[in-house]
C-alpha cells in the first residue's frame, strides 16, 4: 500500500525527494528510504538528478522509471482496430490504426490482431515482455467484472464473447475490458480535453450518440455497467422507434444517422455522414442546429443531476460541425441551473478517433499497477 502511495505521488508530481515523500505520506524518512530501495530494486523507480534542499544540502530526486513497463490499449470496431501504448509513467508513446474486419469470429481474428501488435507496436524500445497488461475497448454492453461483451449491436458475431479470457490466452498478460464510450471518456479525462477536471460528462456524436461519466477521476459505470448511455434519454414521447427498442430516444433526433434520415426524408438525398456534415453551415443548417439543440438540452439537464466541472463533446458530428457544437453548447448553458451555467466548462474532445484506445491503455495501467478497481 505504501509503495503504491509513493508511485501515485511520483506519477502526479513527476519527481520528488525523500523529505518531500515523507511529508506527503506521513511516513518516516527511514521507511521512505527502505521503500524507495525496494522500488529501485524492482526497477519501478529511478534517481533523476539532485536538487538543493532548504538546508543547502543536495537531495536526490526520484521518479517512476517510465520504460519499466508498458500498457497496450486495443479499441475494437467493426472495420478497424485502434491501438495505443502508454508507459509506466502514463505517457502516451505510440498509436496505430489498422483496417481489420473485426466482425468475424473472435477466435479467427485474434491471431491476426496479435500479429499486428507484434509487427506494428512491439519494437526495441517497447519489448514484448515489458507489456504488462492490456485494456480492451469494445462496443457495449460490457460486463466489466467478468470481462464479457454481451450484445454489441454493430458486432453481431461478438455476442456473449468472453473477451478477457480469449485475449489473456492469446497475449499471455492480464486483460481489462471496458465499454468503448467509457474508455473514450477516461482517455479524454486523463490525456485529452478533460485533464483539469475531476468530474466530467463526455458525449460522442457519431452515427449514434454515446457517453461516459467520470466522477472523482473514475469511470461511473452504474449498477449493471449501463451508465452513460445518453443517446437513450427520452426526448420525444411520440417520436420514432430507437434501435434500443424504446421510443423517442435522443439518438432518434440528434445522432448522425438521425440527421441522415431526416435529410433523406426531406430532400431525397442519401448522403454519407461526412458529406452531410460538410454542408451543415449551408444547406442543412436548420437540421444541424436543431439536432445540436436537442443534444444540449439533454446534457444541460444532466448537468443539474451530476453537476460536473466540465462537458467534453466529441465525435465527427461535433468536431466537424461548428453549427452543431454551437447549438449544443448554447442549449447546455440555457438548461443548466443559472448558478453554474457560466462556471461549467464546455470543451471539444482532443484525442479524435484514438480516445478509446488511449483510455483503454490507461485503464490497464490504473487497474494493473494501482488496482483502483476501475
Ligand atoms: Zn434508445
Blockwise average pLDDT, block size 10, the chain, 374 residues? 88 89 93 94 90 75 94 94 95 95 85 94 91 94 92 86 95 96 96 95 96 96 94 93 94 97 94 96 96 98 96 97 98 94 95 96 92 61
Cα–Cα separations (whole angstroms), residue 55 to 15, 33, 52, 335: 19, 19, 8, 56
Task: Using the mean position of ligand 1's atoms as its centre, give its distance from the Cα of residue 233 in Å.
Answer: 7
225: left (phi over 0), alpha (psi -120 to 50) or beta: left
Task: Using the mean position of ligand 1's atoms as its centre, give its distance from the Cα of residue 230 in Å.
Answer: 9
Q: What is the pLDDT of residue 3?
A: 87
Task: Using the mean position of ligand 1's atoms as its centre, give its distance from the Cα of residue 221 in Å.
Answer: 18
Q: How many other CB atoms are there within 10 angstroms of residue 105's CB atom? A: 10
Are 152 and 140 in contact, with CB atoms under 8 Å apart? yes
Task: Using the mean position of ligand 1's atoms as its centre, give its distance from the Cα of residue 191 in Å.
Answer: 30
According to DSSP, residue 370 is labeled I
Q: What is the pLDDT of residue 117?
A: 95
Cα–Cα separations (whole angstroms), residue 351 to 64, 127, 184, 314, 359: 25, 25, 9, 9, 10
b/e map 16-39, b = 16+ CB within 10 Å? bbbebbbebbebeeeebeebbeeb
Gap between the Cα atoms of 147 and 165, Å rounded: 7
Task: Using the mean position of ligand 1's atoms as its centre, give its distance from the Cα of residue 63 in Å.
Answer: 47
- Residue 99 corresponds to which cell in the numbers above? 483496417
Task: Using the mean position of ligand 1's atoms as its centre, give its distance from the Cα of residue 236 in Å.
Answer: 11
Gap between the Cα atoms of 270 and 279, Å rounded: 13
Q: What is the pLDDT of residue 58?
A: 81
Task: Using the mean position of ligand 1's atoms as its centre, give its distance from the Cα of residue 251 in Å.
Answer: 6
Task: Using the mean position of ligand 1's atoms as its centre, give its distance from the Cα of residue 81 in Å.
Answer: 26
Task: Using the mean position of ligand 1's atoms as its centre, give its distance from the Cα of residue 232 in Å.
Answer: 4
> Could you identify the residue written with the cell 460490457?
142
Gap between the Cα atoms of 178 and 11, Å rounded: 23
Nearest residue to 298 (alpha-carbon basis) of 257, 340, 346, 250? 250
Task: Using the mean position of ligand 1's atoms as its centre, give its distance from the Cα of residue 250 in Å.
Answer: 7
Task: Using the mean position of ligand 1's atoms as its centre, give its distance from the Cα of residue 171 in Å.
Answer: 36
> Packing angle between helix 106-120 and helix 163-171, nearest 10 degrees?
50
Task: Using the mean position of ligand 1's atoms as its centre, give its distance from the Cα of residue 200 in Å.
Answer: 22
Gap between the Cα atoms of 10 and 95, Å rounded: 25
> Could you identify the residue written with the cell 454492453?
141
Are 227 and 213 in contact, with CB atoms under 8 Å apart? yes
- The beta strand positions in the chain, using DSSP E, are 16-17, 45-52, 58-64, 70-76, 80-87, 92-99, 131-138, 142-143, 148-149, 175-179, 200-205, 209-215, 218-219, 310-314, 345-348
Q: How many other CB atoms are there within 10 angstroms of residue 141's CB atom? A: 17
Nearest residue to 68 (alpha-carbon basis) of 2, 7, 136, 116? 7
199: left (phi over 0), alpha (psi -120 to 50) or beta: beta
Task: Using the mean position of ligand 1's atoms as its centre, give its distance from the Cα of residue 211 in Å.
Answer: 13
Q: What is the pLDDT of residue 277?
A: 96
Task: Using the mean position of ligand 1's atoms as its centre, give its distance from the Cα of residue 192 in Å.
Answer: 28
Task: Using the mean position of ligand 1's atoms as its centre, give its distance from the Cα of residue 206 in Å.
Answer: 15
Amino acid at each position: 500500500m505504501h509503495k503504491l502511495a509513493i508511485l501515485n505521488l511520483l506519477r502526479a508530481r513527476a519527481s520528488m525527494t525523500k523529505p518531500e515523500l515523507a511529508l506527503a505520506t506521513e511516513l518516516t524518512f527511514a521507511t521512505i528510504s527502505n521503500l524507495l530501495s525496494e522500488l529501485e530494486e524492482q526497477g519501478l523507480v529511478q534517481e533523476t538528478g539532485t536538487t538543493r534542499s532548504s538546508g543547502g544540502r543536495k537531495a536526490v530526486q526520484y521518479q517512476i522509471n517510465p520504460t519499466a513497463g508498458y500498457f497496450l490499449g486495443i479499441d475494437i470496431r467493426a472495420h478497424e482496430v485502434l491501438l495505443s501504448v502508454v508507459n509506466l509513467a502514463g505517457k502516451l508513446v505510440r498509436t496505430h490504426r489498422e483496417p481489420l474486419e473485426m466482425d468475424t469470429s473472435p477466435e479467427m481474428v485474434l491471431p491476426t490482431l496479435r500479429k499486428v501488435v507484434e509487427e506494428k507496436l512491439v519494437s526495441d524500445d517497447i519489448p514484448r515482455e515489458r507489456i504488462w497488461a492490456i485494456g480492451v475497448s469494445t462496443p457495449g454492453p460490457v460486463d466489466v467484472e467478468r470481462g464479457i461483451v454481451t450484445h454489441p449491436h454493430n458486432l453481431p458475431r461478438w455476442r456473449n464473447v468472453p473477451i478477457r479470457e480469449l485475449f489473456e490466452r492469446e497475449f499471455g498478460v492480464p486483460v481489462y475490458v471496458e465499454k468503448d464510450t467509457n474508455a473514450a471518456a477516461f482517455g479524454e479525462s486523463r490525456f485529452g480535453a478533460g485533464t483539469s477536471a475531476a468530474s466530467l460528462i463526455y458525449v460522442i456524436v457519431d452515427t449514434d450518440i454515446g457517453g461516459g461519466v467520470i466522477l472523482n477521476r473514475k469511470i461511473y459505470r452504474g449498477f449493471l455497467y449501463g451508465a452513460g448511455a445518453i443517446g437513450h434519454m427520452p426526448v420525444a414521447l411520440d417520436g420514432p422507434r430507437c434501435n434500443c427498442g424504446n421510443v423517442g430516444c435522443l439518438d432518434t433526433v440528434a445522432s448522425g444517422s438521425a440527421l441522415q434520415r431526416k435529410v433523406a426524408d426531406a430532400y431525397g438525398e442519401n448522403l454519407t455522414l461526412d458529406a452531410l456534415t460538410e454542408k451543415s453551415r449551408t444547406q442543412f443548417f436548420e437540421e444541424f442546429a436543431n439536432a445540436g439543440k436537442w443534444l444540449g438540452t439533454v446534457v444541460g439537464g444532466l448537468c443539474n443531476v451530476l453537476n460536473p466541472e466540465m462537458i467534453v463533446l466529441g465525435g465527427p458530428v461535433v468536431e466537424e460541425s461548428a453549427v452543431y457544437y454551437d447549438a449544443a453548447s448554447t442549449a447546455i448553458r440555457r438548461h443548466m441551473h443559472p448558478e453554474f451555467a457560466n462556471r461549467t466548462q464546455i470543451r471539444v474532445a482532443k484525442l479524435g478517433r484514438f480516445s478509446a484506445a488511449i483510455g483503454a491503455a490507461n485503464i490497464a495501467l490504473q487497474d494493473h499497477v494501482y488496482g483502483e478497481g476501475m
